[in-house]
């Protein structure tokens, strides 16, 4: 059923000449046989610092069926991992400054992001983050930077000149709105107020007052309560005002239509 899975790509290992191994075998192994297994270990034979390799060689291990190419690929893989650990653990001349490796230490350096280059999570390239982009922290980085700057906070403080001007404008608006509401309330039974809408006008003025007061939530540093209240207060109150205006317009139109 392999034909049902679609196109299959095979990868072959490129041939690499394994230089020096045959010369080592030709010169070192006969010398090890002459020394003998029971003889004390000698460092005179090149590349025989490993005791297990020494024992294998002097026992006459045949190299005729040894796959040099595959062994060299294994050697390259082990060599790559060894050098990676050497760099991560900060090793020098057999002495390492670190002995524990955390998972994030083998990832991309700070100021970079992962760009997947295959189907597996382990296959990625490290790309420098663009300038002024935000990581999953409370700061942002410059391009390829390893340091962070705090995000700038822009809001209207209470003592700013623009805040004072807006508060004065809000005060005038509230004074006119509440003053009109008081006048309508004391003259609610008069023909003029009734013709203007009566209690509907009071509801309109009250909703405009609430909509105006919602601007107080936009001053100073945003708080959780202010963020929850500023949008609903304005939207709901202004919607009520528009609904009252629509109802009153319909009443005036009906009144004019009946008088014609």
What average pLDDT does the segment 181-210 reach? 88
Instruction: Tell me the chain's radius of gyration from C-alpha atoms.
Output: 42
The predicted model gives 68-79 an average pLDDT of 74
Tokens of 46: 């090149």
What are 91-111's pLDDT values in tens digits? 877 678 777 776 656 677 767
Q: What share of the chain is helix, strand, coil (3-state, %, to 5)?
A: 55, 10, 35
Of residues 157, 71, 193, 233, the one with CA closest to residue 225: 233
State how far the Cα of 126 lies from the Cα of 228, in Å rounded to an integer.
Answer: 40
Predicted local distance difference test score (pLDDT) of residue 16 = 62
Q: What is the mean pLDDT of residues 65-91?
A: 76
Least confident of 22-26, 152-156, 168-172, 254-258: 22-26
Distance between CA atoms of residues 207 and 188, nearest Å: 18
Per the CB < 8 A criterion, the answer to whether 114 and 108 are in contact is yes
Three-class DSSP category at 259: helix
The mean predicted confidence, pLDDT, of the chain is 75
Mean pLDDT of 132-160: 66
Region 202-213: what's the mean pLDDT? 90
Q: Kindly tell me if the per-residue pLDDT of 140 is higher than 50.
A: no
List, for residues 213-240, the tens digit of each pLDDT value. Answer: 888 888 888 888 888 888 888 999 999 9
| Sole residue written with tokens 């350096």 | 109
Q: Full-prediction pTM beyond 0.95? A: no
Give me the pLDDT at residue 139, please. 47
Highest mean pLDDT among 4-18, 82-96, 122-136, 175-189: 175-189
Check residues 157 and 7 and name the one with the higher pLDDT: 157
17 against 40, higher pLDDT: 17
């Amino acid at each position: 059923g392999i034909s049902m899975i679609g196109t299959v790509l095979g990868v072959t290992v490129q041939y690499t000449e394994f230089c020096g191994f045959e010369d080592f075998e030709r010169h070192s192994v006969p010398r090890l046989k002459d020394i003998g297994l029971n003889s004390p270990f000698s460092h005179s034979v090149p590349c025989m610092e490993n005791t297990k390799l020494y024992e294998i060689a002097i026992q006459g291990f045949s190299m005729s069926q040894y796959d040099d190419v595959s062994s060299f690929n294994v050697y390259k893989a082990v060599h790559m991992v060894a050098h990676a650990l050497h760099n991560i653990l900060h090793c020098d001349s057999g002495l390492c400054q670190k002995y524990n490796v955390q998972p994030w230490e083998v990832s991309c350096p700070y100021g970079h992001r992962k760009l997947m280059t295959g189907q597996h999570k382990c296959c990625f390239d490290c790309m420098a983050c663009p300038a002024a982009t935000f990581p999953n922290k409370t700061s942002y980085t410059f391009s390829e930077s390893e340091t962070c700057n705090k995000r700038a906070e822009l809001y209207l403080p209470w003592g700013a000149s623009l805040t004072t001007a807006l508060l004065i404008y809000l005060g005038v608006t509230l004074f006119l709105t509440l003053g009109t509401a008081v006048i309508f309330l004391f003259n609610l039974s008069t023909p003029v107020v009734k013709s203007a809408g009566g209690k509907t006008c009071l509801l309109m003025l009250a909703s405009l007052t609430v909509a105006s007061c919602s601007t107080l939530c936009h001053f100073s540093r945003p708080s959780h309560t202010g963020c929850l209240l500023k949008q609903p207060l304005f939207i709901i109150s202004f919607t009520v005002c528009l609904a009252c205006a629509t109802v009153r317009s319909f009443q005036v139109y009906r009144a004019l239509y009946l008088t014609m």
